[in-house]
Chain A
């Protein structure tokens, strides 16, 4: 841990417990996510990694029976304080979901929606500019620049997911959460998204939940291993994959369970 202190912690989770009704889904999660890095969360299905991810932008708030205790600090500010404006929070913490979910609108409108509700663009030119840069950052511009006004749902799965990434970065967040962004995609589209994630980390802090250990190894700098609602081990990706401290991590990584 001393080694890592040189890097700046963007998100600090302190003793996060999550309950769905009577069932406890997360047990005292403490972890740090560093700025401008890709942090991967791995673990078997149902281990709570997605639940934790959704705590970072308070997406769990929409689930009535979900109760969360503990603190998550973003830039040393606890987002679970009672007076926090979740709209402001989500402006800062974008999210990309497992299944591509573009709005059933044109490609242009998909990107322009976020900036327009936050009043980011002053006029049409500025909006065009935001749409273009967002799509460029998401490596989709060249493929769609001639059909910006066609429906976003008409794109291929991989393109749709990149459209969702472009949508997330259009409002210029600081953190992007990705919930198994490639699980619905073919290997070629996956490779493209992974490449994209790598290039995005210079401007954003990225947290990615993934089922694929090879993906975690390829894209992330740090990895956290979840099992049954607990964070078993967290550290440098290289260390986690080559020489984990915990035997359970070792077993999972070598494919003995999960």
Chain B
């Protein structure tokens, strides 16, 4: 009877444990789902851009162009006044204030949008074409449904007058939503509708590339030396402990190091991917050394013995057999280390990669932002347009991380060889 009872209890304990496990996993999945849902629901609208259709006549007289083949003249023509005058005509206004409110519906970039179009279509001189102009942030958000219209006028960013214009434009079919290529091709901007994370992506890529180029060879050499060649004594024990400690050092400390040494002592250029990459590689080094050593340790001694027994030297044994076998683990450790570096913000803030950079970086020596810093920068901005862009940047960052982690899994499976 007692035995029966104990067995029953054992089964119950097993069931209970399974239920705990399922609850834990469901909770974890719920929170991940919540995060993803929040990011996606806020961020997807950033991938589209609201445009306003405006018929524009490239009047030679207004532009001040006398010779269409004179590049200088076409470059420096007055597109600002041209678009301004023809745009405000689209809606009746009675005073300067209303006129200002009309033109504020367009993004300040309209001058360049008209110019860029005309530079490629010079035959349109004195002809009328319907052009798509980027709408201002407020107009964009209104069209995306992110601005409630039913609150009092003084608390709205758009006046009743502007709302009326929107309604009329909508009725006339003058509003169109297109894919937001600016998001990928532009750098930061004060105007949310013109801001993109192109610069941040390039900055992140340069940073990670530099980080990889510096940390991988150093970490691999260190791991191979420590694991295969170094004598086992107090000194190497101390080094091992310190490497493990280094992996746990808060990343901002590495930022301080980068600031103190790379910027102040070596006077490397501030805010650049070069300095960011070097700083992050300091942080990544121990995070690659540890998995690399673990994979070297996991290579069975029988393989080493086999190589030594046919007369391979120690170095040949290590580089012909042990290191190739340890590669899958080392590579996936490296990729995961780089993925962590990709998401790192604090050290980059300290070395000045938090600057407002409009230009896309052409090389690691140019000032640039990086994806996590861009998230940080935009999340501080009040405009509704930056809120959706913050989420879009997070989506981008998550996308990169997923790609990198899948690469790590792929590297492990593809290059892993079986041994006995």
Residues of B227-280 contacting chain A, CB below 8 A: 231-232
Given A59-B305, A64-B232, A90-B308: A100 in contact with B313 (beta carbons within 8 A): no
Min CB–CB distance B39 → chain A (angstroms): 43
Measured CB to CB, the nearest residue on chain A to B325 is A104
In the assembly, what is the distance between CA of A153 and CA of B302, in Å? 13
Task: Choose among A91, A96, A97, A151 the residue that contacts B311 (Cβ–Cβ < 8 A).
Answer: A91
Binary contact readout A149-191 vs B (1 if CB under 8 angstroms, 0 otherwise): 0010100000010001001101100000000000000000000
Given A97-B302, A99-B302: A168 in contact with B310 (beta carbons within 8 A): yes
Measured CB to CB, the nearest residue on chain B to A105 is B417
Chain B residues in 8 Å Cβ range of A62: 304-305, 308
Residues of B373-420 contacting chain A, CB below 8 A: 417-420
Given A57-B309, A59-B308, A95-B309: A101 in contact with B420 (beta carbons within 8 A): yes
- CB of A103 within 8 Å of the partner chain: yes
In the assembly, what is the distance between CA of A57 and CA of B418, in Å? 28
In the assembly, what is the distance between CA of A58 and CA of B12, in Å? 58
Task: Choose among A96, A102, A117, A160 the residue that contacts B312 (Cβ–Cβ < 8 A).
Answer: A117
Can you give 25 contacting A-B residue pairs, CB < 8 Å? A57-B309, A59-B305, A88-B311, A90-B308, A90-B309, A95-B309, A96-B309, A99-B302, A99-B420, A101-B305, A101-B419, A101-B420, A103-B306, A103-B321, A104-B418, A113-B310, A114-B311, A114-B312, A117-B316, A153-B417, A168-B309, A168-B310, A170-B310, A171-B310, A171-B311
Q: Determine if A153 and B419 form an interchain contact, defined as CB atoms under 8 angstroms apart.
A: yes
Most chain A Cβ neighbours within 10 Å, of B304, B321, B420: B420
In the assembly, what is the distance between CA of A94 and CA of B419, in Å? 21
Min CB–CB distance A67 → chain B (angstroms): 15
Binary contact readout A78-103 vs B (1 if CB under 8 angstroms, 0 otherwise): 00000000011011001111011111
Measured CB to CB, the nearest residue on chain A to B231 is A64
Further contacts, 10 of them, CB under 8 A, given A64-B232, A88-B311, A101-B306: A90-B310, A96-B309, A99-B302, A101-B303, A103-B321, A104-B418, A151-B417, A153-B418, A164-B306, A168-B309
Q: Determine if B311 and A160 form an interchain contact, defined as CB atoms under 8 angstroms apart.
A: no
Measured CB to CB, the nearest residue on chain B to A96 is B309
Nearest 3 interchain pairs by C-beta: A114-B310, A101-B302, A95-B309
Chain B residues in 8 Å Cβ range of A94: 309-310
Measured CB to CB, the nearest residue on chain B to A100 is B420
Task: Choose among B305, B320, B417 the residue that contacts A113 (Cβ–Cβ < 8 A).
Answer: B320
Residues of B271-305 contacting chain A, CB below 8 A: 300, 302-305
Chain A residues in 8 Å Cβ range of B308: 59, 62, 90
Interface residues on A, range: 20 to 34
Chain A residues in 8 Å Cβ range of B313: 87
Chain A residues in 8 Å Cβ range of B305: 59, 62, 95, 97, 101
Most chain A Cβ neighbours within 10 Å, of B303, B311, B320, B417: B311
- CB of A145 within 8 Å of the partner chain: no
Q: Determine if B325 and A97 form an interchain contact, defined as CB atoms under 8 angstroms apart.
A: no
Interface residues on B, range: 20 to 34
- CB of B54 within 8 Å of the partner chain: no
Min CB–CB distance B85 → chain A (angstroms): 76
Chain A residues in 8 Å Cβ range of B306: 97, 101-103, 164, 167
Chain A residues in 8 Å Cβ range of B417: 104, 151, 153
In the assembly, what is the distance between CA of A99 and CA of B305, in Å? 11
Chain B residues in 8 Å Cβ range of A167: 306, 310
Chain A residues in 8 Å Cβ range of B312: 87, 113-114, 117
Given A99-B302, A103-B321, A104-B417: A59 in contact with B311 (beta carbons within 8 A): no
Min CB–CB distance B162 → chain A (angstroms): 71
Measured CB to CB, the nearest residue on chain A to B305 is A97
Task: Choose among B231, B232, B309, B321 the residue that contacts A97 (Cβ–Cβ < 8 A).
Answer: B309
- CB of B358 within 8 Å of the partner chain: no
In the assembly, what is the distance between CA of A111 and CA of B261, in Å? 52
Chain B residues in 8 Å Cβ range of A95: 305, 309
Chain B residues in 8 Å Cβ range of A160: 420
In the assembly, what is the distance between CA of A153 and CA of B419, in Å? 6
- CB of B307 within 8 Å of the partner chain: yes
In the assembly, what is the distance between CA of A99 and CA of B419, in Å? 12
Measured CB to CB, the nearest residue on chain B to A99 is B302
In the assembly, what is the distance between CA of A149 and CA of B321, in Å? 18
Q: Determine if A87 and B302 form an interchain contact, defined as CB atoms under 8 angstroms apart.
A: no
Chain A residues in 8 Å Cβ range of B309: 57, 59, 90, 94-97, 168
Chain B residues in 8 Å Cβ range of A59: 305, 308-309
In the assembly, what is the distance between CA of A171 and CA of B306, in Å? 13
Chain B residues in 8 Å Cβ range of A151: 417-418
Chain A residues in 8 Å Cβ range of B311: 87-88, 90-91, 114, 117-118, 171
In the assembly, what is the distance between CA of A208 and CA of B29, in Å? 59
In the assembly, what is the distance between CA of A100 and CA of B302, in Å? 9
In the assembly, what is the distance between CA of A160 and CA of B311, in Å? 20
Residues of B32-47 contacting chain A, CB below 8 A: none
Most chain B Cβ neighbours within 10 Å, of A57, A90, A103: A103
Chain A residues in 8 Å Cβ range of B320: 113, 117
Min CB–CB distance B225 → chain A (angstroms): 16
Min CB–CB distance A180 → chain B (angstroms): 13
In the assembly, what is the distance between CA of A59 and CA of B311, in Å? 11
Q: Determine if B420 and A153 form an interchain contact, defined as CB atoms under 8 angstroms apart.
A: yes
Min CB–CB distance A121 → chain B (angstroms): 14
In the assembly, what is the distance between CA of A87 and CA of B311, in Å? 5
Measured CB to CB, the nearest residue on chain B to A118 is B311
In the assembly, what is the distance between CA of A171 and CA of B303, in Å? 18
Measured CB to CB, the nearest residue on chain A to B416 is A104
Measured CB to CB, the nearest residue on chain B to A157 is B420
Min CB–CB distance B47 → chain A (angstroms): 46
Chain A residues in 8 Å Cβ range of B302: 97, 99, 101
Measured CB to CB, the nearest residue on chain A to B306 is A101
In the assembly, what is the distance between CA of A226 and CA of B306, in Å? 25
In the assembly, what is the distance between CA of A150 and CA of B311, in Å? 24
In the assembly, what is the distance between CA of A99 and CA of B232, in Å? 27
